[in-house]
Amino acid sequence: MIETSKDLLFFILGVCIFIFTVFLCWAIYYIIMIFKNVSEVVNSFKQLVNGLKDKLGKLERIINLIEEKVSHTTSYLPLVAQGITELISFFKKKKTKKEKSKEK
């Protein structure tokens, strides 16, 4: 089987190439698993960001709705304030009339 030192060299080189090939396949497998895990993390992060974008969009719509309601309400605010002041003056006049009628 092994007749010369050259045959021994080829045998040892063959074993070394086999061991190197096994190591290389093992390393490639782990690199692929690392990339797979990174891909899963990135996908879950994308889903998280998309969820946050949806929630921020809903929040923005709510804020816009509140802003519209407030802007419409502020247009009626002077009328309401004027009405309240007239009611207060009406009740004051009524109270003074009652006090004047009690004094007589």
pTM as predicted? 0.51
What's the CA gap between 10 and 7, in Å, rounded? Answer: 5
Which domain, by its residues, includes 59? 1-104
H/E segment holding residue 51? helix 5-103
Amino acid at 69: K
Number of domains in the chain: 1
Over the stretch 34-47, which tens digit does the pLDDT of each residue have? 999 999 999 999 99
Res. 91 pLDDT band, cuts 50 70 90: confident
